[in-house]
C-alpha cells in the first residue's frame, strides 16, 4: 500500500495541499480501481502533481489493459521522458523534455478529445500550465478512439503497469498528490492550477473539489489512508 505523507507536500499562501502519496519503486505499491460506464468515452482529462525520487527506468503513473496486446500508459520512460502510450503504442507521445529534477514538483495534465477533427488536437499534454509541443515521437489517436481508461470493467492502476508487475521494475518511484480523472470533459490546466500573481513563473494548485468528475471519474486527495479520496 502506498504511504500517505504530510511532508513533501505542495504549499502556498492560497490553496494548501497537505498530503501526498509515496510510491516505492522497489516495492509493490499500487492503487487499483475498476472502471465504470463512462459519461463520454471520447473525452477525459487526467491531472496530477508528481515528485520523482528514482530515475532511469520505466515509471508507470496510470495504466490499464484490455488484453495482452492492447494497453494504455502514462509513464516516464527509461530515459526520463514523459510518454503517453495508447493501444500498445499505436498512439505515442514522447516528449523531448526530460524529467530528471528529483527536487521539483511537476504538474501534468493530459487533455483528450478524440472527436476533434484536427488529429494534432485530440491529445494535449501540459506541464506546469504550459503545453508541451516538442516530441521525439508524436503519433495521434484515431478519430473517436476510446481509450481503455474509458472502457467499463477494466482495471486502472496508479503506480505500476497492469500487465507484468511481477518483473520487479516499471513501477513509479516518487510522490503523487491531487490526482484527478475527469470523465466526459477535455479540460485545460487552469481547471487545476494557476500562475502565482506575485511570482508569475510559479505554477501552483487550486481547489478542484467543485469540479464535476463524471460517472467514471475520481479525485484522490490522499488526506486519509483509509479513504484516499
> What stretches in the chain show pLDDT beneath 70?
1-14, 68, 164-169, 226-229
| CA atoms of 177 and 228, how far apart (whole Å) | 10
Residues whose CB is less than 8 angstroms from the CB of residue 95 and which lie 6 or more positions away in sequence, other chains included: 81, 82, 83, 125, 132, 134, 135, 136
Single out the residue of 152, 135, 143 nearest to residue 98, CA to CA: 135
How far from chain centre, in Å, is Cα 144?
21
Could you tell me if 26 and 169 are in contact, meaning their C-beta atoms sit under 8 angstroms apart?
no
For residue 226, the tally of other CB atoms under 10 A from its CB is 5
C-alpha cell at 38: 463512462
pLDDT of residue 161: 83
Residues whose CB is less than 8 angstroms from the CB of residue 55 and which lie 6 or more positions away in sequence, other chains included: 80, 100, 102
| CA atoms of 140 and 14, how far apart (whole Å) | 37
Cell 494534432, located at residue:
120
pLDDT of residue 10: 58
End-to-end, the C-alpha distance of the chain in Å comes to 15
pLDDT of residue 90: 81
C-alpha cell at 134: 516538442
| CA atoms of 206 and 180, how far apart (whole Å) | 12
For the stretch 74-123, pLDDT in tens is 999 999 999 999 877 788 999 999 999 999 999 999 999 999 999 999 99
Could you tell me if 93 and 83 are in contact, meaning their C-beta atoms sit under 8 angstroms apart?
yes
For residue 37, the tally of other CB atoms under 10 A from its CB is 12
Amino acid at each position: 500500500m502506498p504511504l500517505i505523507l504530510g511532508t513533501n507536500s505542495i504549499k502556498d499562501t492560497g490553496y494548501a495541499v497537505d498530503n501526498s502519496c509515496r510510491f516505492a519503486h522497489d516495492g509493490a505499491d499500487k492503487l487499483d480501481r475498476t472502471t465504470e460506464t463512462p459519461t463520454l468515452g471520447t473525452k477525459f482529462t487526467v491531472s496530477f502533481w508528481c515528485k520523482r525520487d528514482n530515475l532511469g527506468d520505466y515509471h508507470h503513473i496510470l495504466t490499464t489493459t484490455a488484453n495482452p496486446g492492447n494497453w494504455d500508459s502514462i509513464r516516464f520512460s527509461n530515459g526520463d521522458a514523459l510518454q503517453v502510450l495508447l493501444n500498445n503504442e499505436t498512439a505515442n507521445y514522447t516528449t523531448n523534455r526530460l524529467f530528471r529534477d528529483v527536487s521539483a514538483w511537476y504538474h501534468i495534465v493530459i487533455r483528450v478529445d478524440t472527436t476533434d477533427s484536427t488529429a494534432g488536437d485530440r491529445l494535449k499534454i501540459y506541464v506546469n500550465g504550459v503545453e508541451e509541443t516538442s516530441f521525439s515521437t508524436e503519433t495521434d489517436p484515431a478519430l473517436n478512439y476510446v481509450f481503455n481508461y474509458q472502457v467499463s470493467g477494466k482495471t486502472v492502476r496508479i503506480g505500476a503497469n497492469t500487465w507484468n508487475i511481477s518483473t520487479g521494475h516499471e513501477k513509479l518511484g516518487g510522490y503523487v498528490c491531487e490526482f484527478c480523472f475527469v470523465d466526459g470533459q477535455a479540460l485545460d490546466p487552469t481547471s487545476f492550477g494557476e500562475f502565482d500573481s506575485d511570482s508569475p513563473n510559479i505554477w501552483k494548485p487550486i481547489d478542484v473539489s467543485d469540479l464535476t468528475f463524471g460517472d467514471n471519474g475520481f479525485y484522490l486527495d490522499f488526506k486519509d489512508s483509509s479513504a484516499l479520496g
